[in-house]
Chains A and B, each alone.
Chain A
């Protein structure tokens, strides 16, 4: 059953842009604490708020200032939250590794998150969403939503 809801893809893209920018800034300034902050925001967004972690910045600054225009599509919210949660977990491990002094593996993991967020932002492919839909096809418990009709898993659904 395709119980799609309105999902603002502009909010998702703003979230990805902020994650990428902050993680690169954290790397350049060597600020593991910023990695931990981004991680906390992403995990809070996925687990508690059920929204993109930086949703407030989009909602209160970017959208009212018309810097970003809303792009509402009929889609499932869960795969995007799952993708953000996976990214948050990567950053959790990254932050812990940086904390114990394993700088190279720690920063590599942070860059993996940057790469995946960039693929989503610029290439339009959400790896975490694709994973979610594959788990759904494999009937893994908890992955209830099936890929929207006519959409390749991980790609943006067609507009309507």
Chain B
């Protein structure tokens, strides 16, 4: 097998991976559009971006990792960001409308309450910050 073959196959592999990423992002985008169209965000503080955080009382990674990460964001950004925590057990209809299948799930909402990012599973503070900073 020569180098040209390897490079060609590498290019194909990269193309397939990129296509997969695009499909994944499109899926997330459709999910967010559905959420934005069908379910109003819970009451949020006026005109600041928000983290909509779906959790449950028995979710261990929520307690040990996700909540501290969100606390860190709150400490860093103060009143410039609002955190809307939803117990998916107490509000199953809201969780369903937002397409939440597991906890923790976090959405980043812009100042108008429109979802811009969705994070399935535990998300580090750095990633959340990176998603919020452009809309502050």
A-to-B contact residues, CB < 8 Å: 24, 27-30, 71, 73, 111, 115, 118-119, 122-125, 150-152, 155-156, 158-160
Q: What's the Cα separation between A151 and B95 when bound, in Å?
A: 13
A-side contacts of B6, CB under 8 Å: 28-29
**Interface SS of chain B: helix, strand, loop or mixed?**
helix
- The reply to whether the CB of B68 lies closer than 8 angstroms to some CB of chain A is no
Nearest neighbor of B8 in chain A, beta-carbon distance: A28
Contact of B60 among A27, A118, A160 (CB under 8 A): A160
Nearest-neighbour CB distance to chain B for A143, whole angstroms, equals 21
B-to-A contact residues, CB < 8 Å: 1, 5-6, 9-10, 12-13, 16-17, 20, 24, 56, 58-63, 89, 101-103, 120-121
Given the known inter-chain contacts A124-B121, A150-B56, please indicate yes or no for A158 contacting B102, CB distance below 8 A. yes
Q: What's the Cα separation between A29 and B56 when bound, in Å?
A: 46
Q: What's the Cα separation between A6 and B62 when bound, in Å?
A: 18
Contact of A151 among B1, B10, B89, B102 (CB under 8 A): B102
Q: What's the Cα separation between A156 and B104 when bound, in Å?
A: 10
Cβ of B102 and Cβ of A30 under 8 Å apart? no
